[in-house]
Structures are given as structure tokens and as C-alpha cells.
Structure 1
């Protein structure tokens, strides 16, 4: 009969948890490990969204939760400190890079090396960008794709299940602390554990907020990225994109920093629905049967708020104001933007809009910080490419990238509650598959000495 007590229990079976469990298993053959997830086994994670249709799931969507979490979505692992989280700030940049190398070695050991990795680094471009007051963010990439990512994580599961107890489709209702550790009450029964690790990612944010309150854990600052999405001539950035598919550019000034995000050559702009608001989002050319002749990206400016509620209220107020209770997104020509006048028509515009949006004036509906950042960025970008941006370039408002509030943890990811740890995206330190996985390995090595 299965024991209901374990040395270490991990709630959430996403990427950070999978790599944590794998590392624990390798470093301590005696420790008993229990992994609990609200979702299903990887082999049972099917949803109509996977086939381009509508969600066919009951309850939480299997596209986002279950074994491997978002690891099976695109399986894109960016090995860098330049973006994708702030793990390097927490545990050291070199330590983070070393851990990400281990992540890649593990993926390759389970068949990920079928797809070769590639680098976005370009020394010549980096030097040119530096002269224009821009920084080129680069990374090593292992882009598995959905099918191979699923195969790799399934192989990892086959190894893990021989040593680890799994409870799928299990909802942890309450967590209480006691002298021996923790008592977990769930829909399938009660469990006890000495140490507890939570790795529920973005999908478990509401649940984690409730549990944190009952454990008297209080969140700190919350990051929010807002920015304008740009759609331009497909060849406008050819001089910097000729050697790489995507380039991430960063501009830093005393009052702000801004970074290009989700650059899509030949991609389209689509509507993104999140948190009850509608935003312009980029779609990769590979996701579309009829690619666009344009290029699009967002320029995000991060800001930090004292609380999650404050960050969300700010975003909802601005984006909700643009939406006007419907799915309204505004678009403005660059020439009109520079002249501070409304765009009245896009008839005959050289850059044909890939998204149907309302004509307007961004300066009237978008806070000055994001407008100023775009102006400064465009000035540097024009210096970098050696030409003026086409006046028919289109600007859409307003895109957003949301983050969870940070619950304070020490260097080993332990919270203010002893023996309770947070890893991956729910720690607030990682925002990418690679950094989430690295945080799992890091904690796995630390807890591996536990006996």
C-alpha cells in the first residue's frame, strides 16, 4: 500500500519540478519523493487548442497544466542570463549558466540532441549596436518543438516513475505546518511530508496566493511589462536580421529600460486575451499558412509595483481603457505618431495591417513612459540600421507581459516558513523554461544532501 508520508513533496509537475525530481533522484537514492499535480499525465494531455481548435477540456486546460507543464508547448530553451528571468541575480550568473548547461545535457540525454542547438550571438552586430546605445541580447537555443519536447519529457517520466510517487488530477486544498513538516489535505486524501516544494508556475498563481495567505507568507513586489507593438516593412531590419532569425535589442536610460520581445519576421499580429483585457500579440510565421510580408515586435518597458493588485489595477486601467469594454486595439502610423495626430485611414499604406484595429492616437491613450521609450528606441534603431524608419510603420497599443508577485525566498529558495521552498516561475525569479529547469537542478542539489 502506498505510504502517505514522504521526505519531500513537490506540488506542480512543470519543468522546474521535473528537473528538481530528476536531480534529487540522482543525488539521493534513499529520499522518498511525492509529486502532485492538478493536471494529467503527459500521455493524457490533449486539448482542441493543440489542433488549432477550441479548448475541449473540463476544468483547467490540459494545454497548460499536467506533467511537463509548458515544457511541451514549443520546447524552446534559451540558455542565457540576458532575458527569461532573474535567476542570475539570485544565485550568480556563472552558476546559472553552468546549470543551464546541465539542463541541456539532460535534455540531450533523453533525445533532445536530434535538434541541433544554435546561437543568436553576433559580435559585429553587438559592436554596431553599442555605437547606437543599444545592447544586443543573445542566447544559445535548443528549440525542440512540441512533438520532440513531448517525447523527451515522456522519457523522463518513464525514468522518474520508477522512483517517485505521482498523484495526478489531485487538488491540494489546504497546507498546514506542524513540527514534523507539513500536512496536505487533497481531494484524494491526506498526505504528510518533511519538506515541501511548490513549483506551480503561472497556472497555479491564484491557488498559491490563497495558500500563502494561510501560511502567513506575504508577497512583495510585482513586475509588469507594458509596451507598444510595432509592425514594419519586412525588410526594414534586414541589415541586422540577415544572420539570425530574431534579435533582441535593449535600450537603457536613467528613467527606464526597454527590450524588444517576440520579434516575428513575416509574422502576423493577432488578438491576445488575458485577465479580461485584449492586447496585440505577435504570431510566428510558422504558425500561419499565409505569412505576412511585414515584421512585428513589442518594445516592453518593465516596471515594479509594491503589490500584485497594484500592478494589475494599473494594467487593467490602461488596457481596459483602450479596449472600451470590447476588443478594441488602437493603431497609428509612425508619421502620425511623430506629428501627434490621429490616424484617419490606412488606405494605400505601404505596410498593410495584419490586424484589424481602430485608428487613433497612442499619445492620448498610452502613458508617457511607454511613448518616450519607443521614441528613444526608434532614434537608436535608426542609427543602428543607417536609415529612417518608414513613415507607414504601424504602432499598436497596448501589449503586456504579466508576472506573478514575488514571495520572498533566500538563496536556496526557502521561504520564511522553514522547509517550504518555491521554484520556477512561481518563485518570481524565472520566466523561461531554461531558467525554471535550472532552478530545479539548483534546489535538487541543495536538498540532495538531505537524508
Structure 2
């Protein structure tokens, strides 16, 4: 019996892959598409972390893998070239913005328009910030929130099922190149395919490394962002947030650059589990029935390592040391941090912690670079808002944002192995839902046109 054959096999069912498959369907109704993911379909992606409890998953966590990938978490789509990846540098900034507009149109087509989009652009604030040494990064935002994101992607799934065949809870064991395309062996089946698109995101880094090495592909440098998460009085930044839901600020010095990430007015801090370590993560006020009175964000400092292994070893060593073999996250008052003394109690603290961390010394447990960046950043913020950052502000160590190592790809995302493509975060070009989705649309149009021409010839 001959194995099944597909025109295109997409490995990974995250955001980039979903938008790729949808675009392919629109471009060519006859192309056969197979999508494989190690996780579950969206309706079965249930984890205790979704209710603020401990992870209840067997194997990899359903919060991060499965249909829609990280798109189901908060569904925050930032439409900008200022941050979130380097897609603009690869295919052109204007093309990237146009593709992100298409991303938004598709989200709205499936019900995302019930949440209005908003802009963080503020020219007056940008001018003020520049005078104190800060840059304001701007974006258009469609923030779906977890419930709506799940509804939108579930509707997309129902449409995709009409033309796409899915294999969930399936691991691809081998990908081998042959003259007629690729032979693929999974733990469930064996099949052939003309083209392979990998969109496994951050969660599939170990698997991707194994597969690309077997195909003769070797990644280059890897980016890693680490930083302290800050929780302050909810009105502390009112003067710069009053016209926008979130403001992203950047500070640049000779020895570092640092950018605020995941700013959550009235949000809470929760535990984030990734790569075997536990970190403080921000949860938006829209995700909670009882929003907090605080504001939280992380200040990330990017670093670059020669390999993915070195980046991961560095992060896991530091954060794992803080965790101490459990879910420990250290928290320290800003004033204690500034005077280099341990925080021993938060009972009388005017900023009530939204996360039950362990009092201690962030300064002692976090590398000096990240504390120095935060101090210089907060000094600029004080100049910007015209007041002192409250001494009861809380600092949590240590948050991280992981990236995939970069593998060389052409403008169309094709690797050095013909007919093998990388999209989304695993390409190393995108670091956000919007740019990942845009990369999927971009490749979908290219492959749809290519396959259309091939079919015309036949």
C-alpha cells in the first residue's frame, strides 16, 4: 500500500501555520494540506494554569502547544515594525505592515472585531520621552483576550478542516529529502509530501534542532531576553498612560538596550512555566474577574549567544537558581533594592503583591546587568513623570523571553534545503503573534501562486 501524499505538510499548528493554511486555501482550493502538531486541538487544550493553578498536563503543557499555539493565551496582536521581530527587515517594512493589516482583517472576519483596536501612538509623549533619554515604541493593537482568542481560532479551525487534514498528538520522528519531495515518519504514520513548512515556534526548539541537523542545516546565534518584572502603584504612570492602554518604552546605552514588555494596567502577576523554569509573567486585567490596583511590566535586556544551547544554559542556570527546585520567585521592594538590603516582609507594603513571591534580594540573585538597566530606566521614568517612583514598588526575578536560533532562509523563507521552509518564531525572524501570522500569509501567497502555476503546467 502506497503511503499518503500531500502537496504541503505543515509541522506545528501555531499562529503562523494557521494563517499559512488559511491563505493557501484561499489561493488554491485544490492544494492538499496536512498539518501535524504534538499538542491537542483547541477544544482539548485545558491546563490548571488557565485557572491560576498548577500545571495538570502530562508531558508538554497544553497552555503553550496545540492548535493556535500561544495565540490562545491573550490573543494580543501588535501591528508594528518597532518591535515583535525583524520581518520588516526581511521582506520590507511596508509589505510587513500591509500583511499585518490582512492579519487583522482575518481576525475580524472570524469575530475579533467585537473588541475594538487601539493605538499607542502619542507624538507629544514621544517628544517628552526623547528629552529624558527614552524612546516610545508605538503600535496598533487588537487585544482579543483569552476567551475571544479561543473563539476566533476555533472558528478558523472549523473552516480549515474543510481542506486541511490534521494529525494532533503526533510527533514527527524523521524528515528525509528525496527527489520527489520528502518522506516523513511520525509515531503514527508514514507519508510523503512535496513541500514541508515548519512552524513549531519556541516550544519545538529541541525537536527542530535535531531535524535540521539531520538535514544538514546548522543554526547561528540565538537571542535571549532577560529582565526584572516590576509591579507598581496603578496610578504611578497615569500621566503617560492616560491616552493609551499600554506604552512601550526603550532605553539605549553603550552597554545595553532595554525595553518594557507586557505592560498591564490593573493586571496581575502570575507564574509562567517554560523550559523547566518558573518566571513572573503579566496577566492583563481583562483576564481576571477581580483586577488588581497595580500596574506591572518587565524590562527586558536582549543578549546574543553563539548557540541556542548556550542561551538556554545561561537562562536556566540563573532562573533555576532562583527557583531552587520549586516554583520560587524572589521579590524585593524597590527601596530595599536601591539600598542593597533584603526585603523581609511585605505586610505593611503599600503596593500589595499580586503574586505570592518569596521575600529576598533581587539584586543578589539577578546578574548585575539587569539591575543596572532597571535603575537607569527608572531614573529616566522619574524625569518623564515628574515624580519619584514609589519606594514600595516591587521587583520580581527573573522574567525571560526565549527565541529560536536563526537558520539562514531566503526572502521566501526557504532554507538551503529546497522546498523546506521555516515560518513564525522558529524562523528567528518573528517574535510576536502579528508578525508570525504575517509570515504565514506571506508564504501562503507565495506557495499558492507557485502551486497554481505548477497545476496550470500539468
Shared fold (TM-score, shorter chain, > 0.5): yes
Query: Which residue is 2:431 aligned to?
Result: 431
Residue 171 of structure 1 aligns with which residue?
Answer: 171
CA distance in 1, matches of 2:404, 2:422: 13
Structure 1 pair 133/2, CA: closer, same or farther in 2 (3 Å)?
farther
Give the deviation of 1:44 after TM superposition.
Answer: 4.2
Offset at 1:45?
A: 3.9
Q: Secondary structure at the match of 1:332?
A: strand
Matching residue of 1:251: 251
Structure 2 residue 118 is the aligned partner of structure 1 residue 118: yes
Structure 2 CA distance for aligned equivalents of residues 366 and 281 of structure 1: 16
Q: Structure 1 130/345 Cα, relative in aligned 2: closer, same or farther at 3 Å?
A: same
- Compared with structure 1, are the counterparts of its residues 415 and 290 closer, same or farther at alpha carbon in structure 2 (3 Å cutoff)? same
Q: Deviations over 1:13-70 (max 9, x none)?
A: 2211121122222223443322222333334444454455555555444443333223
Q: Could you tell me which residue of structure 2 aligns to residue 107 of structure 1?
A: 107
Matched positions, count: 451
Change (3 A) 1:363 1:147: closer
1:363/1:159 CA distance change after superposition, 3 Å: closer
> Offset of 1:221 from its aligned partner?
1.0
Shift of 1:184: 0.3
Q: What corresponds to 2:268 in structure 1?
A: 268
Contact preservation (8 Å) 2:266, 2:292: yes
Q: Aligned-pair RMSD on alpha carbons?
A: 2.4
Deviates more, 1:357-366 or 1:210-219: 357-366
Could you say what secondary structure the match of 1:162 adopts? coil
Check if 1:226 corresponds to 2:265: no
Bigger CA drift: 8-17 or 35-44?
35-44
Q: 1:381 to 1:160 in 2, by over 3 A?
A: same
Q: How does 1:104-183 map to 2 (within 5 A)?
A: 104-183=104-183
Q: In 2 relative to 1, CA 71–351 (structure 1 residues): closer, same or farther, beyond 3 Å?
A: closer
Alignment of 1:88-107 (within 5 A): 88-107=88-107
2:385 paired residue number: 385
CA distance in 1, matches of 2:322, 2:158: 48
In the TM superposition, what is the alpha-carbon distance from 1:286 to its structure 2 partner? Answer: 3.6
Take 2:277 and 2:250, find their aligned partners in 1: how far apart are those partners? 27
Q: 1:179 to 1:75 in 2, by over 3 A?
A: same
Most deviating of 65-74 and 112-121: 65-74
Matching residue of 2:442: 442
Distance 1:111 1:293, change over 3 A: closer
CA contact (8 A) 2:183 2:190 kept: yes
Separation (CA, whole Å) in 1 of partners of 2:54 and 2:351: 31
Question: 1:271-305: CA deviations, max 9, x gaps?
Answer: 33333333333333344444333222211101011
Instruction: Give the deviation of 1:73 after TM superposition.
Output: 2.7
* Secondary structure of residue in 1 paired with 2:203: helix
How far apart are the structure 2 equivalents of 1:21 and 1:270? 33
Deviation for aligned residue 1:397: 2.1
1:219 Cα deviation from its structure 2 partner: 1.6
- The residue number in structure 2 matching 1:307 is 307
Structure 2: distance between partners of 1:26 and 1:18: 13
Deviations 1:206-245 (A, max 9, x none): 2212212211221211111111122222221111111222
Q: Is the 8 A contact 2:264 2:282 kept in 1?
A: yes
CA pair 117-355 structure 1, distance change in 2 beyond 3 A: closer
The Cα offsets for residues 392-435 of structure 1, whole Å up to 9 and x where unpaired, read as 22222222222222222222111121111001111122122111
Match of 2:294 in 1: 294
| SS state at 1:318 partner | helix
> Given the two structures, how large is their TM-score scaled by the length of structure 1?
0.92
**Structure 2 stretches of 5 or more lacking a match?**
none
Q: Quick check: 2:181–2:419 contact (8 Å CA) kept in 1? A: yes
Instruction: Report the counterpart of residue 35 of structure 2 in structure 1.
Output: 35
Structure 1 residue 368 corresponds to structure 2 residue 368: yes
The residue aligned with 1:237 is 237
Question: Which secondary structure does the structure 2 equivalent of 1:90 belong to?
Answer: helix
What is the distance in 2 between the residues matched to 1:392 and 1:91? 45
Q: Deviations over 1:144-203 (max 9, x none)?
A: 233333333333333333333333333221111111111001233211111111111222
Counterpart secondary structure, 1:255 = coil
Deviation of 1:439 after TM superposition, in Å, equals 0.3
Kindly tell me: are residues 363 and 411 of structure 1, through their superposed partners in 2, closer, same or farther at Cα, counting changes over 3 Å?
Answer: same
Aligned mates of 1:130, 1:123 — CA distance in 2? 11
Aligned equivalents of 1:49, 1:189: Cα separation in 2:
32
Q: Aligned to 2:82, what secondary structure does the other structure show?
A: coil
Q: C-alpha separation between the residues in 2 aligned to 1:14 and 1:203? A: 10
| Larger deviation, residues 69-78 vs 177-186 | 69-78
3-state SS of paired residue (1:34): strand
Mapped to 2, the partners of 1:373 and 1:72 lie a distance apart of 32
* Alignment partners' CA distance in 2, 1:122 and 1:368: 33
TM-score normalised to structure 2 length: 0.91
How far apart are residue 251 of structure 1 and its match?
A: 0.8
- Matched residue, 1:414: 414
What SS does the aligned partner of 1:193 have?
strand
1:3 CA displacement: 7.1
